[in-house]
Amino acid sequence: MTTKGNKKGFSTRAVHSGRGFVGNTGAVMPPVYLTSTFAQGNADGFDYTRSGNPNFRLLEQSIATLEGAEHATCFASGVSAITAVVSSLKSGDLIVAEENIYGCTYRMFERVFAKFGVQARYFDLSRSENWPQISALKPALVWLESPTNPLLKILDIAGISALGAPVVVDNTFASPFLQRPLELGATLSLSSTTKYINGHSDCLGGIVATNDAAWHKRMVFAQKALGLQPSPFDAWLTTRGQRTLAVRMERHCANALALAGWLEKQKRVRWVRYPFLPSHPQNQLARKQMSGGSGMITIELDGDALAFCRKLELFTLAESLGGVESLICHPATMTHAGVPKAVREQVGITDGVVRFSVGIEDVADLIADLEQAL
Ligand SMILES: *Cc1c(COP(=O)(O)O)cnc(C)c1O
């Protein structure tokens, strides 16, 4: 199966790639290879599931075609994928990171890899006046995330990649349907497949896609040497989930755009942040590098935000995002509870901020639910 050279449309690739290993059964979809080990000398070159399994290869092929990449390597979770990338650095290496990165990435930099001499420095990389820091510091890696969590900042992937340092983009919030970092010049595109790629909130996973053979070797090494591999069943579930990525993302985008526009007109809503609304500070950049605004909306409410969350019926108050079902998150008491209040508020995460992961339900029902809760 060709990956990067595959000229078929996105949806066709999502449906038709990653369908091998059916033997002579004629099965239209591949089986789950629930085996820990393989007989020596088999034609496909498998030895032990920590270093490879047919279900990993199928998932890696399909995500590589979606990211427009030569290679992809699958992991047990998004955090495992981040571990794989950071563990490839060595003591003394510097990471320049966007200051609004995912909390677990920040925690890993500061509480795990800092102990081994990998240093991270943080800048607001949505401001191009901070980019000369990248040219001056010559980091081993630039760590981007776009859109960011929960404020949905958009970073200029092509502009930052053109500075020459290797760039990794956490593409989780956009998914490869809406944004392909490697085509914009990034070295690595990383996703928590737990979110949009699998899309059904029934397993964890992570993936790293690249066109760089040396980085691919490092990812394969990390998968087996650090024990970061997923289970074959989770790889199978994720391969099934990604087949419908295009149709799900189209609905997530349409629902979120309609909801965001509706929210902007509500008196109790102080502000609405959604990349494809004209009011978003980087709306033009978002439209340049993404083909849709995705399903995430962040707003600030007047009054008790937690009471509002609890009154909703179709939006479950829960962490995570990107599933078919709508969720709502109150960052101040959930994802960012560990951040001191003053620090949180300084970056805009007040007690009134709530983040929606807009699902693929009927948008009229979602709006009615918000209306009764407001
Ligand atoms: C959820 C998430 C991760 C971590 O992924 P897990 O699968 O939960 O380990 C990393 N980055 C972003 C942006 C995420 O939303």
Residue 338: pLDDT above 90? no
Cα of 195 vs centre of ligand 1, distance in Å, is 8
> In the chain, what percentage of residues exceed pLDDT 90?
92
Cα of 82 vs centre of ligand 1, distance in Å, is 9
Distance CA 301, CA 288 (A): 29
Contact 188, 168 (CB under 8 A): yes
Positive or negative, the Cα torsion across 300, 304, 310, 311? negative
**Contact 234 CB / ligand 1 (< 6 Å):** no
Q: Which atom of ligand 1 has the smallest separation from the CA of 149?
A: 13
Res. 368 pLDDT band, cuts 50 70 90:
very high
**Contact 228 CB / ligand 1 (< 6 Å):** no
Residue 2: pLDDT above 50? no
Q: What is the pLDDT of residue 6?
A: 74
**Contact 126 CB / ligand 1 (< 6 Å):** no
Catalytic residues: 50, 102, 170, 195
Kindly report which listed range (67-81, 99-113, 179-193) carries the lowest average pLDDT score: 99-113
Q: Do domains 10-242 and 245-373 have the same CATH topology?
A: no
Res. 1 pLDDT band, cuts 50 70 90:
very low
Domain boundaries, the chain: 10-242, 245-373
**Contact 79 CB / ligand 1 (< 6 Å):** yes
Q: What is the pLDDT of residue 124?
A: 95
**Contact 357 CB / ligand 1 (< 6 Å):** no
Sheet holding 119-123, edge to edge: 71-75, 206-210, 188-192, 167-170, 141-145, 94-98, 119-123
Residue 50: pLDDT above 80? yes
Residue 93: pLDDT above 60? yes
Distance CA 304, CA 313 (A): 17
Ligand 1, atom 6, lies closest to the CA of 78
Q: What is the pLDDT of residue 4?
A: 63
CATH 3.40.50.720 fits 10-242, yes or no: no
Look at the domain 245-373 and name its fold. Answer: Aspartate Aminotransferase, domain 1 (3.90.1150)
Predicted confidence (pLDDT) per residue in 255-310, tens digit:
999 999 999 999 999 999 999 999 999 999 999 999 999 999 999 999 889 999 99
Predicted confidence (pLDDT) per residue in 198-257, tens digit:
999 999 999 999 999 999 999 999 999 999 999 999 999 999 999 999 999 999 999 999
Cα of 169 vs centre of ligand 1, distance in Å, is 12
**Contact 149 CB / ligand 1 (< 6 Å):** yes
Cα of 263 vs centre of ligand 1, distance in Å, is 26
